[in-house]
Amino acid sequence: MIVTFVHHSCFVVETDERMLIFDYFRNENVRDYEFSGVLPEFPKDKPIYVFSSHFHQDHFDLEILKWAKDYENIHYILSKTIRLGDRYLIRNGIDPKVKEKITFTKPDKKYSVDDMNIRTLKSTDVGVAYLVYTEEKCIYHAGDLNPWKWEGAGDIVNGKEEKAFRREMHKLEREQIDVAFVPVDSRQQHFATDGLDYFMKNIDARVIFPMHMWQDYSPVQKYKAKATNAAFLSRLVTITGENEAYEVL
């Protein structure tokens, strides 16, 4: 299995039988950042599955629907928060028939797409997190499921976020996850790695990739510097920049 960190929360997972693409957006779509992520080439003989956790511009790009022109064996798994009316698609040069290739998802549901099974969790922000079961592997992409605690927000607000986050994490406690993508957002300052820390301590995941870092990878480096358990830390990938590829499992 090859995992490519494209940028932000976008990862491409290539398995023996398929390509999985999570939360892609074009580099120029988010202001004030100079993303440089480049998608790897997609083999024509492998089916492609494109996931978007919700409609925010740093998680979804209408461009992905145009890929159906070049790749016949492509399927989209999109949060239902993404609205795709026929007139809107036509205005953007997209054939509304592309919706025949889309599975729209809601929180706390199960879906089957070809021979893949998919389970969703409820985000603490918008949309869903995904658990994907394929080729005897389990892949978790959190989307924006994270304890969104902020300086100055107060204990009541931050406490509600923490409670909602832990409620969703409880649903993962019996899962054996092979690859997980988990938010670490430096904008949260000293709360940045709270969600990652809870996930690592309570969820069985073999390899964990931090994401949603807005090009600031320092919180993960600081987190690793503080911890002393080498076996514990060995599961956490240290990402240093966009377009990095990793061979895992």
Would the pLDDT of 136 be above 90? yes
The DSSP letter of residue 236 is B
**pLDDT tens-digit map of 143-194:** 999 999 999 999 999 999 999 999 999 999 999 999 999 999 999 999 999 9
The model's pTM: 0.97
Question: Residues 6 or more apart from 127 whose CB is under 8 A from it?
Answer: 53, 54, 55, 59, 79, 81, 107, 143, 144
Alpha-carbon gap, residue 84 to 97, rounded angstroms: 11
How much is the pLDDT for 39? 95
Q: Which domains does the chain have, with CATH numbers?
A: 2-247 (3.60.15.10)
Alpha-carbon gap, residue 91 to 153, rounded angstroms: 40
Max Cα-Cα span within the chain: 56
**pLDDT tens-digit map of 30-73:** 999 999 999 998 888 899 999 999 999 999 999 999 999 999 99
The DSSP letter of residue 119 is E
Tell me how crowded residue 104 is: count the other CB atoms within 10 A of its CB.
14
**pLDDT tens-digit map of 203-241:** 999 999 999 999 999 999 999 998 888 888 999 999 999
Distance of CA 62 to the CA centre of its chain: 17
